[in-house]
């Protein structure tokens, strides 16, 4: 059974980026000496699903960050929006979250990294997320792109573990209760 997994950082007030996508507030509080577990997390992942916002942010960095296949969920973008050097690494999908996960399952994918606020929110609403590792950055930024959004019913999660880091980051792992 294919499952979605979240690994994301948020400000203490629940934002993953400023309104314009800026994440300097996060980068400036990150300590590159600390191992926040991303490499361990990504080891067991088959590929990444993200929304347009996260994709465009990733494109703005000096080099492409992801080694795994990336699928960008977007009704607006087309294959023409993928830079030439990423054509073999990135594809666009217009499928619903349910249909995309079903399609990936037939391709043999088992664990998918779901990234970006809007995408995480829609996958949560469709009950496609199994667990979430949320790293809270010790700052209030007041406005921006939210990690979480509307839900149809309350979604209970089960606390698995919490790790604190000298930088002040607090990382909590939750399983979604189905």
Site residues for a copy of itself per CB under 8 A: 12-14, 25, 124, 134, 136, 138-143, 147-152, 154-159, 161-162, 164, 168-170, 172, 174
Of 91 and 167, the one with the shorter C-beta distance to a copy of itself is 167
Are the beta carbons of 119 and 49 closer than 8 angstroms? yes
Q: Which residues pair with residue 115 across a beta bridge? A: 50
Of 44 and 164, the one with the shorter C-beta distance to a copy of itself is 164
Nearest to 116 by CA among 3, 36, 2, 9: 9
Q: Is 125 helix (H, G, I), strand (E, B) or coil?
A: helix
Q: Which residues pair with residue 172 across a beta bridge? A: 134, 162
Shortest reach from residue 5's CB to a copy of itself, in Å: 16
Shortest reach from residue 4's CB to a copy of itself, in Å: 15
Shortest reach from residue 99's CB to a copy of itself, in Å: 24
Shortest reach from residue 159's CB to a copy of itself, in Å: 4
Of 25 and 41, the one with the shorter C-beta distance to a copy of itself is 25
Are the beta carbons of 31 and 167 closer than 8 angstroms? yes
Are the beta carbons of 89 and 69 closer than 8 angstroms? yes
């Amino acid at each position: 059974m294919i499952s979605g997994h979240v690994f994301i950082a948020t400000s203490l007030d629940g934002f993953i980026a400023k309104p314009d996508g800026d994440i300097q507030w996060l980068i400036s509080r990150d300590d590159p000496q600390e191992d926040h577990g991303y490499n361990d997390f990504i080891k067991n992942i088959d590929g990444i699903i993200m929304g347009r916002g996260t994709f465009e942010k990733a494109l703005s960095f000096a080099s492409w960050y992801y080694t795994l296949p990336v699928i960008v969920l977007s009704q607006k973008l087309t294959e023409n929006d993928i830079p030439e050097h990423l054509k073999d690494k990135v594809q666009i999908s217009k499928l619903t979250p349910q249909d995309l996960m079903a399609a990936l399952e037939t391709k043999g994918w088992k664990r998918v990294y779901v990234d970006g606020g809007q995408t995480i929110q829609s996958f949560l609403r469709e009950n496609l997320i199994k667990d979430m590792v949320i790293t809270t950055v010790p700052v209030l930024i007041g406005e921006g792109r939210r990690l979480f959004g509307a839900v149809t019913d309350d979604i209970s999660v089960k606390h698995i573990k919490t790790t604190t880091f000298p930088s002040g980051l607090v990382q909590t792992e939750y399983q979604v209760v189905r």
